Amino acid sequence: MAFDILGDIAIVEPGTDGEKFLKEHKNVNVVLIKKGEVEGEFRIRDYEVAASRPEARNFDDIPALLRPRKITETIHRENRCRFKVDPTEAYFSVRLGTERARIAKMVKEGERVLVMFAGVGPYPITIAKIAKPELVVGVEINPYAVLFFEDNIMLNKCEGNVKAIEGDVKNVVPKLKETFDRVVMPLPKDSENFLYLATKKIKKGGMIHLYKILHENDLKAFLHELKRSLSRAEIDVIKAGEYAPGKFRYCFDIRLDARKPKKR
């Protein structure tokens, strides 16, 4: 049976025996059963605590003010980063750790990066820890996620070059004074509807990383529309994980104003 490990929390499918799961997985201290689907503006779902052993939880390596305080809060570690997160309050996918590292390794020293739909900060903070950007700005509409994002900036000592902004990208992005070398758009349902915001804030020759969940049969048509709307762009397609049978999370790495005339 499939499950995800988020820090010391296991997120499991309905029907899982929580107590049995704890006995079989010594690295897990809380078992959450999924209740419903990811939905709503904040992209979260309901969970039921199926089993826990709170006496086994230990966050002594975390500064006192930043330690988890609820049974559903934890510290997740990936890519030399630590993320305080509560899946009942803010969206976080453990399956994107490798993809976050891939993007971070593409960032060149001194870049300015904008991350739309930033959540608790995994993309901005991973970029700041792996690369050497001048500035990473993350915009997130969920106020609970922003609180975790701000804690995670402190937890990872990224105060110098990571900035969290609460608000709707439609309102926040047009008001940003900066222009950016790179824009990351990890909202896999309808990121393309916000592409116009990215193109207005990115430097000539900059790169956009746009995520989209698609059935593999729909990829060709979506890519055609993307190329039609961005006629002078070069687009690479990266398969960033399976979402459901036949459906995948794709990342479209879009280099703007990059096309060159064909040789005669």
Last residue of a domain, one of 50, 67, 85: 85
Integer Cα distance of 178 and 156 in angstroms: 24
Specify whether 185 is located in the same domain as 230. yes
At 38 the pLDDT is: 83
What sign results for the dihedral spanned by CA atoms 33, 122, 8, 26? positive
Beta strand 3-6 with 9-12 is antiparallel
- Do 41 and 169 lie in one domain? The reply is no
Q: Write out the residue range of the structural domain in which residue 44 sits.
A: 3-85
Say yes or no: 149 and 30 in one domain. Answer: no
Same domain, 138 and 69: no
Mapping DSSP to helix (H, G, I), strand (E, B) and coil, where does residue 37 land?
strand
Q: Do residues 81 and 182 share a domain?
A: no
Task: Please provide the DSSP assignment of 171-232 as one string.
Answer: HHGGG----EEEEEE--TTTGGGGHHHHHHHEEEEEEEEEEEEEEGGGHHHHHHHHHHHSTT
Length of the chain as a residue count:
264
- Residue ending a domain, among 85, 103, 123, is 85
Task: Give yes or no: residues 80 and 207 share one domain.
Answer: no
Residue 122 and residue 145 in one domain = yes
In a domain, 261, yes or no: no
Digits of tens for pLDDT over the chain (264 positions)? Answer: 689 999 999 999 999 999 999 999 999 999 999 998 888 888 899 999 999 999 999 999 999 999 999 999 999 999 999 999 999 999 999 999 999 999 999 999 999 999 999 999 999 999 999 999 999 999 999 999 999 999 999 999 999 999 999 999 999 999 999 999 999 999 988 999 999 999 999 999 999 999 999 999 999 999 999 999 998 899 999 999 998 899 999 999 999 986 555 555
Q: Do 158 and 213 share a domain, yes or no?
A: yes
Torsion of CA 200, 201, 206, 211, to 10 degrees: -80
Q: What's the domain count of the chain?
A: 2
Whether residues 247 and 172 fall in one domain? yes
In a domain, 263, yes or no: no
Cα Dmax for the chain: 72
Amino acid at 249: R
The C-alpha atoms of residue 168 and residue 152 are separated, in whole angstroms, by: 20
Last residue of a domain, one of 60, 85, 110: 85
Q: List the 180-185 sheet strands across, edge first.
A: 162-166, 135-140, 112-116, 180-185, 202-215, 247-255, 234-244
CATH code for the domain in which residue 239 is found: 3.40.50.150
Both 112 and 178 in a single domain? Answer: yes
Phi-psi region of 192 (alpha: psi -120 to 50; beta: other; left: phi over 0): alpha
Residues 134 and 234 in one domain: yes
